């Protein structure tokens, strides 16, 4: 009895060493975040209500930029394409990444070279990834056409038609970023508490039951973080598509990032680009707040 009181007092003493501790721990990180976000956000919002002509600031535009953006069919198309793209790649990457992590988390031989081999795609700079896949898709020297022909199909000439180009850029993204989900989920699996799983196994739960009833709920917070981070990055995908298709053929792979980049830097319409991106940011923000809510529910 007496010993327990002592222990409790010591715990309290340890906490007392951090006056306002939890808040102080947060401060440095928040300062770092503020440093790279406050001014850019202010600047971006201001730019979105500014009239630019040929890179020069011509005073307030009111909501004119937003009005133009909302009436621009190419903006709608780019949003739609981005939405489709993100949905396709994040879904595939989550399913594949989760599956791979489950396979590799079991005790297998050569675990470490396999793990490193699986994350190889992530290690290459996206610009290079774009160029290499462009060559692989090329009708003259690429590998996709001969591969299809070897199995008796028509050569797809991937980047030369609308649907196949869209599928083509999705495949590149899935190839490159499935390893990310794999990595995060694997780490999550490794630090999962084992007791509940053991208990369930002893109770005779089958593998599938075990996964859906026990592993998945325990893994949910980490999996959600992986999905959220990947979604945000996917929305901003730029380098590899810019190199692969430049948004073409036509506008079939023109994501919002490509459209905004061209608008801002190629056509010097910085205000319009800012209006697009601020609108996008607002939409994604709402989506993500919903995700955080969901995560909190799952975590509790």
Partner 1 sequence: MTEPNGSNERASGAYTRRQVMKGALGTGAALGLAPLLAACGGGSSSSSSGSAAGGSITIGSFQDPSMVPFHQQFLPKFTAATGIQAHYNETSYNAWYQNSKNDGLNKTGAYDIYVMDDNWVPEYAAGGIIQSLDKLGLKVNPDILEKGLDQGYWPPRSGARMKAFANDAPQLYALVIIDDVEILYYNKDYFSKTPVTWDDIYAVAKTTKPPLYGWTARGVKGNPIMQTYLPLLNAYGGHFANDDWSPGFAGPEGVGALERLFSFIPYMPPGVASFDTTEETPVMLQGHATAMTEYTGTAHQVDDPQYSKVVGKIDFAATPKQVISGPAIGTFICGISSGAKNTAGAVKFLEWFTSEKVQKEFAGVGSAAVTGTALRDPALGKKYRWLPAIADAVDNSIPKPRTPDEPQMENILGTQLNEALVEAIGQKSGYTQIAQSHLTTAANQITAYLKQQGGYF
Partner 2 sequence: MRARLPRIGLYATLIAVLVIAAFPFWWMLDESLKQPVDIFSGVTLYPHHPTLTNYSQLFNSYHFGAYLENSILIVTMTVAISLVLGTLAAYSLARFNLRFGLNQSSLVVALLVRMIPGILLVIPLYLMLAKWGLLNTRIGLVIIYTGINTSFVIWMMQSFLAEIPRDIEEAAMVDGDSRLSALRRVVLPLAAPGLAATAIFSVIATYNDFLIALSLTSTPAAQTVPVGVSTLIGKIQIQIGPMAAAGVIGALPIVIFALIVQRHFVRGLTLGAVK
For the chain, helix, strand, coil in percent to 5 are 75, 5, 20
Which residue among 49, 160, 167, 225 contacts partner 2 (CB under 8 A)? 225
β-pair partners for 50: 60
Residues 6+ apart with CB under 8 A from 268: 52, 54, 55
Q: Does 210 bind partner 2 (CB under 8 A)?
A: no
Q: Does 72 bind partner 1 (CB under 8 A)?
A: no
Which residue among 43, 70, 153, 267 contacts partner 1 (CB under 8 A)? 267
What count of Cα atoms within 13 Å lies in the side-chain half-sphere of residue 197? 16
Which among partner 1, partner 2, none contacts residue 267 (Cβ within 5 to 8 A by kind)? partner 1
Tell the residue number behind the tokens 């879904």, with chain if given. Answer: 91
Q: Does 155 bind partner 1 (CB under 8 A)?
A: yes
Region near partner 1 per CB under 8 A, out of 21-29, 230-238, 273-281, 291-299: 21-29
Footprint on residues 54-93 left by partner 2 (CB under 8 A): none
Q: Does 137 bind partner 1 (CB under 8 A)?
A: yes
155 — phi, psi (to 5°)?
Answer: -60, 125
Which residue among 111, 155, 199, 294 contacts partner 2 (CB under 8 A)? 111
Q: Does 250 bind partner 1 (CB under 8 A)?
A: yes
Please give the angle made by the CA atoms of 151, 153 and 155, to the nearest 5 degrees.
Answer: 115
CA distance 144 to 160: 13
Residues at the site binding partner 1, with contacts judged by CB under 8 A:
10, 17, 24, 27-28, 31-32, 35, 53-56, 68, 134, 137-141, 155, 157-162, 165, 245-251, 262, 265-268
């Amino acid at each position: 009895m007496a010993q327990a009181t002592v222990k409790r007092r010591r715990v309290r003493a340890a906490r007392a060493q951090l006056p306002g501790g939890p808040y102080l721990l947060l401060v440095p990180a928040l300062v770092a975040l503020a440093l790279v976000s406050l001014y850019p956000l202010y600047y971006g919002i201001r730019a979105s209500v500014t009239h630019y002509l040929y890179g020069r600031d011509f005073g307030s535009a009111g909501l004119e930029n937003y009005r133009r953006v909302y009436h621009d069919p190419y903006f709608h198309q780019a949003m739609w394409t981005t939405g489709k793209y993100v949905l396709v790649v994040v879904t595939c990457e989550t399913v594949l990444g989760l599956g791979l992590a489950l396979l590799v988390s079991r005790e297998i031989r050569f675990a470490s070279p396999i793990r490193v081999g699986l994350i190889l795609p992530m290690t290459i700079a996206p610009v290079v990834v774009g160029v290499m896949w462009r060559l692989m898709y090329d009708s003259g020297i690429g590998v996709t056409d001969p591969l299809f022909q070897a199995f008796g199909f028509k050569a797809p000439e991937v980047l030369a038609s609308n649907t196949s180009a869209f599928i083509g850029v999705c495949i590149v993204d899935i190839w490159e970023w499935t390893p990310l989900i794999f990595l995060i989920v694997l780490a999550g699996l490794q630090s999962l508490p084992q007791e509940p799983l053991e208990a369930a196994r002893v109770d005779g739960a089958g593998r599938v039951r075990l996964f859906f009833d026990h592993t998945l709920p325990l893994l949910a917070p980490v999996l959600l973080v992986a999905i959220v981070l990947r979604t945000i990055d996917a929305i901003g995908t730029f380098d590899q598509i810019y190199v692969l298709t430049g948004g073409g053929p036509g506008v079939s792979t023109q994501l919002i990032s490509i459209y905004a980049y061209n608008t801002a830097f190629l056509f010097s319409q910085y205000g319009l680009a800012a209006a697009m991106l601020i609108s996008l940011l607002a939409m994604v923000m709402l989506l993500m707040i919903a995700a955080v809510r969901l995560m909190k529910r799952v975590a509790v």
